[in-house]
Amino acid sequence: MQCPLCGIEYDLSHKCYGVASDPAPEEAWPNTGGFGFAPGHYVRMGFEIALLKGVAIRRAACDPNAIAYGAVFCAISAATIFLMSALPSMLRRPAASLETVALGILLGFIFSWVYLGLIVVGQLSLCHILAKVVFDGKGTLLGVMRPSLLAGFVSCLVLIPDLGVFAVAAAWSAIVGRVLEKVNRLPRLPAYLIPGVINFLFFGLTYHVSKSGLR
């Protein structure tokens, strides 16, 4: 819920300090003409979140349009990863034709979107639950997901040879940790510890399985 007087979001109750002051220019809502269409604004916000800027995280957490833009950014990232990693081998197949390649790309996109979506939503949900249950965190799951998804393009770091999986784990852990610190209002240590442990366990297992499959 949001207090109509001071504008602070809260769960059950909060201490109201009166009318909120005017927001800083960098936290103001973009002028979208009433339709919420401002791709440049959300691209810039996504990069600022990836740089761990608290203002952008707080701004995105309260922006209802951020979830849709974040989903689109993550879908583009997943498609890019698939094309960069799988398309060359598809084109080298002796029986490759326009129809088979097009069908393979379509199926690959669908699989990548579902796979990445389940991973991201699952990880963010687990982080949020641990923050709420173990550390008495505030905020909502949507508030965590909005800024996190806007910076979801860091998943493209997986394309870095050999170190890509660990680069994604480090970047994603830092972003989600910063989001938990600002949205769930956790102390810095547990905020970064929760996603750090979850992501490194997951990506470490993924790296081990991928290496085992190549043997």
> Which whole-number Å values give the CA distances from 7 to 58, 64, 82, 109, in the listed order?
13, 15, 42, 40
Query: Any idea where the domains of the chain sit in the sequence?
Result: 38-213
Full pLDDT tens readout for the chain, 215 residues: 556 544 455 555 655 544 444 445 555 555 454 445 677 888 999 999 999 888 889 888 888 888 999 999 999 998 998 888 887 787 777 777 777 788 888 888 898 889 888 888 888 898 889 888 888 888 888 889 999 999 988 888 888 887 877 888 888 889 999 999 888 888 888 888 888 888 777 766 666 655 554 45
Residue partners of 71: CB distance under 8 A and separation at least 6: 149
Phi first, then psi: give them for residue 2, nearest 5 degrees: -125, 130
Q: What is 161-183 written as a DSSP string?
A: TTTHHHHHHHHHHHHHHHHHHHH
**Four-point Cα dihedral 169, 38, 54, 184, nearest 10:** -70
Euclidean distance between CA atoms 105 and 199, whole angstroms: 28
Give the predicted TM-score (pTM) of the model: 0.74
